[in-house]
């Protein structure tokens, strides 16, 4: 039985790799891709998601545009990381496949109300605006969500957009608070684990050497995408943040973490968007998330290479 998922995304090169991994994996049935403003504005994330589907020769995938700004704040984007297009690194043709007319939030609600309860997993890999808006508009969907496996937050690794906040949470902290307080089963892939999923020259060359267009595109994207992290962290390569969520669905044994309480800072301008993870359980606050701290990086890249080569 294939696992039904919806990817909510703001492509972004690492989002693109996550989408490709899902499309290459028969364990998963991708019901749709919902796009949100984040790395770049919504018009570009909705375009980029279709570019990725066509690169994988899957023009039948349904792509929906969602919220074009955070719930109550001005949009902050990350062209400094992903480039002006959001998919800098290689020029790919504009998409021919259509965007669905239905709003992404309506698609999320309709799908969760239609599919049997507990059979749809959400994989948010951008700001949580679409997910939170759906929960606010139709709270009855919360108990019907099988699991939310999201990329976002940081604890030991601290922030990548401010000293204390990770980008996806920082862009829409009110949305993140709604999702983290919702009671839906959460698996969180913070920078603590994604910064251990670093590309290396050898790994990138493995993608570049693959036959066809997909592997070389992944190599070109990571060549571009890794500049930011190499400059800032002096790391050898780029953290493939978003694919960690999809890899978890396919091979959860590659990851380890703790069921702990995670709260979102929405009041302080200084620490806005911080995921306050009670890793040492010093409070009595109830656990609301499986907070992932470690990854078998070799196993992760072996899975990624094996799957991408299928496309
Ligand atoms: O902080 C990393 C996250 O922000 C990733 O999802 C990346 O795509 C950007 O959205
Ligand atoms: Ca993303």
- Within 6 A (CB) of ligand 1 lie 10, 12, 14-15, 38-39, 125-126, 151, 160, 166-168, 241-242
Per CATH, the number for 3-310 is: 3.90.245.10
List beta partners, residue 4. 29, 120
Segments making up each domain of the chain, as ranges: 3-310
Q: What is the residue with the minimal CA distance to atom 1 of ligand 1?
A: 167
Q: Which atom of ligand 1 is nearest to the CA of 13?
A: 8
Tell me, what's the pLDDT at 231? Answer: 85
Return the active site residues: 241
* CA 166 to ligand 1 centroid distance, Å: 8
Tell me, what's the pLDDT at 129? Answer: 99
Tell me, what's the pLDDT at 230? Answer: 85
Q: Which atom of ligand 1 is nearest to the CA of 39?
A: 10
Angle at 92 between CA 91 and CA 96, to 5 degrees: 150
Give the count of alpha carbons within 13 A of 90, CB side only: 20
- 3-state SS, residue 100: coil
Tell me, what's the pLDDT at 148? Answer: 99
Q: How many CB atoms lie within 10 A of CB 29?
A: 13
Q: Are 186 and 179 in contact (CB under 8 A)?
A: yes
Q: Could you tell me which of 9, 280, 245, 301 has the C-alpha nearest to residue 129? A: 9
* CA 284 to ligand 2 centroid distance, Å: 32
Evaluate if pTM is beyond 0.85.
Answer: yes
How many H-runs (helices) and E-runs (strands) does the chain carry?
A: 12, 10
Q: One digit per residue, pLDDT tens: the chain, 311 residues?
A: 899 999 999 999 999 999 999 999 999 999 999 999 999 999 999 999 999 999 999 999 999 999 999 999 999 999 999 999 999 999 999 999 999 999 999 999 999 999 999 999 999 999 999 999 999 999 999 999 999 999 999 999 999 999 999 999 999 999 999 999 999 999 999 999 999 999 999 999 999 999 999 999 999 999 998 888 888 888 888 899 999 999 999 999 999 999 999 999 999 999 999 999 999 999 999 999 999 999 999 999 999 999 999 99
Tell me, what's the pLDDT at 113? Answer: 98
Q: Which atom of ligand 1 is nearest to the CA of 160?
A: 1
Q: Which residues contact 147 (CB under 8 A, 6 or more apart)?
A: 121, 122, 184, 185, 186, 187
Angle at 206 between CA 201 and CA 212, to 5 degrees: 135
Tell me, what's the pLDDT at 87? Answer: 97
* CA 284 to ligand 1 centroid distance, Å: 30
């Amino acid at each position: 039985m294939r696992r039904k998922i919806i990817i909510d995304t703001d492509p972004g090169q690492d989002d693109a790799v996550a989408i490709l991994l899902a499309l290459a994996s028969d364990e998963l049935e991708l019901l749709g891709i919902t796009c949100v403003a984040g790395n770049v504005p919504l018009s570009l994330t909705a375009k980029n998601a279709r570019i990725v589907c066509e690169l994988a020769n899957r023009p039948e995938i349904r792509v929906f545009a969602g919220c074009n700004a955070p719930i109550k704040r001005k949009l902050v984007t990350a062209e400094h990381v992903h480039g002006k297009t959001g998919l800098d690194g290689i020029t790919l043709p504009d998409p021919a496949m259509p965007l669905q007319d239905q709003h992404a939030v309506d698609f999320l609600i309709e799908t969760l109300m239609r599919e049997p309860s507990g059979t749809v997993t959400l994989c948010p890999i951008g700001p949580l605006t679409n997910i939170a808006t759906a929960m606010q508009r139709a709270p009855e969907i919360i108990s019907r969500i099988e699991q939310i496996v999201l990329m976002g937050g940081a604890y030991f690794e601290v922030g990548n957009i401010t000293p204390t906040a990770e980008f996806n949470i920082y862009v829409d902290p009110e949305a993140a608070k709604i999702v983290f307080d919702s009671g839906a089963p959460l698996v969180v892939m913070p920078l603590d684990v994604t910064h251990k999923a670093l590309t290396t020259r050898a790994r990138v060359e493995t993608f570049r050497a693959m036959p066809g267009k997909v592997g070389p595109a992944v190599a070109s994207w990571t060549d571009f995408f890794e500049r930011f992290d190499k400059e800032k962290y002096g790391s050898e390569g780029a953290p493939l943040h978003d694919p960690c969520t999809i890899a978890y669905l396919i091979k959860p044994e590659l990851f380890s973490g703790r069921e702990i309480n995670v709260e979102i800072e929405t009041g302080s301008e200084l620490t806005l968007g911080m995921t306050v993870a009670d890793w040492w359980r010093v409070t009595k606050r109830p656990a609301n998330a499986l907070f992932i701290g470690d990854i078998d990086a070799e196993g992760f890249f072996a899975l990624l290479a094996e799957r991408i080569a299928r496309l």
